[in-house]
Chains A and B, each alone.
Chain A
Amino acid sequence: MNYTLLILIMLQLLLTSHLFILPLSKKRPVFLDGIEGSLFFFTFLAIIATIIHPLIYIFALVLAFFVYYTHCWIVYGVPMERINNALDRAIIGGKSTSVKKNKGLEIDDNMFVRIVHLGMNICFIQYKNKIYSKKSELIKQIFKKFIQNYFI
């Protein structure tokens, strides 16, 4: 019995339930972000690596670090225009300002947000802060809430 594979599969099932089944059962969008998103991608590729080839572990680690350190979100189930609308409402509600820049938005002259549509209602949302700011973090939280309020 390969215990590593067994643990990875159990972890993957837990993460899938929490990240996919729970929101989808309520017809809410799926969010892959932060440490949970990183772990999801890592365990997914690590299972494949355990079965096929150990070299795939490297891709698993790279993808996990990418999701965690770039602070990106992958959202499934909401059309791009609704995501843009949620961001606009978060900016207005948070009394922030925004300017269009390099195919994205710069909020409060600090946080750059770019939304890329990957197809099939999957969006990739990337953030880049000039400096850490509580206001920027709050705008991100509000933006996430507004996206989560949509039904699929």
Chain B
Amino acid sequence: MTKVTSSTIINRSIQEVFDYMASPSNGPIIIPHLNENTNISPEKNGIGQKFDWRFNMAGVDLRGKAEVTEYTPPTKVVMSSKGDADSAWTYTLEEADGGTKVIVEIDYELAETALQRIANKMVINKLAQKTVEQMVENLKVILEN
């Protein structure tokens, strides 16, 4: 498994940030290359919530299924996914300077076939790091503006 991480401080309450991040329907809004999360069930956010995801990288679709495996409002959410890329997305939130510190960690492993369809591992790692950095930046832009 490879790990990429990024963090930022968002000038919003921890509850507001948590509510936004914990909803799988907001994933495609903040996560670059994630085109859609569908079949989200149940609608209510929480442990055991499942959904299908579709990434698109350079025109190649990667698909899989995900499940919320840890849900501790308002400090932590973990989503584990399987498919063309096996991964665990951990969102950790803590109060900081009147705002909220957000740490996003992604542990991932691309299936060999999916990897071969896109590029070599080094390129993927750089892309993943850029994705997580862009994700926290997008989150900050949306919640603060």
The residues of A that contact B59 with a CB separation of less than 8 Å are 18, 22
- For A149, what are the chain B residues with a Cβ–Cβ distance below 8 Å? 35-36
| B57 in contact (CB, < 8 A) | no
Give the contact-size bracket for chain A. Answer: 10 to 19
Main secondary structure of the interface of B (DSSP, over half): helix
- Check if A135 sits within 8 Å of B145, measured CB to CB: yes
Residue of A nearest to B59 (CB): A22
* Chain B residue nearest to A18 in the complex (CB): B59
Contact A145 B28 (CB under 8 A): yes
Residue A88 interfacial (CB < 8 Å)? no
Which residues of chain A in 51-88 are interfacial with respect to chain B, using CB atoms and an 8 Å cutoff?
Answer: none
Interface of chain A residues 94 through 138 with chain B (CB within 8 A): 94-95, 108, 133-135, 138
Task: Give A99 to B75 CA distance when docked, in angstroms.
Answer: 35
Judge whether A138 and B28 touch: CB under 8 Å. Answer: no
B61–A145 CB distance below 8 A: no
Which B residues lie at the A interface, using CB under 8 A?
Answer: 25-26, 28-29, 32, 35-36, 56, 59, 61, 137-138, 141-143, 145
A-B contact pairs, 27 of them (CB 8 A): A18-B59, A22-B59, A26-B61, A90-B29, A93-B26, A93-B29, A94-B29, A94-B142, A95-B143, A108-B145, A133-B145, A134-B137, A134-B141, A134-B145, A135-B141, A135-B142, A135-B145, A138-B141, A138-B142, A142-B28, A142-B29, A145-B35, A145-B36, A146-B28, A148-B35, A149-B35, A149-B36
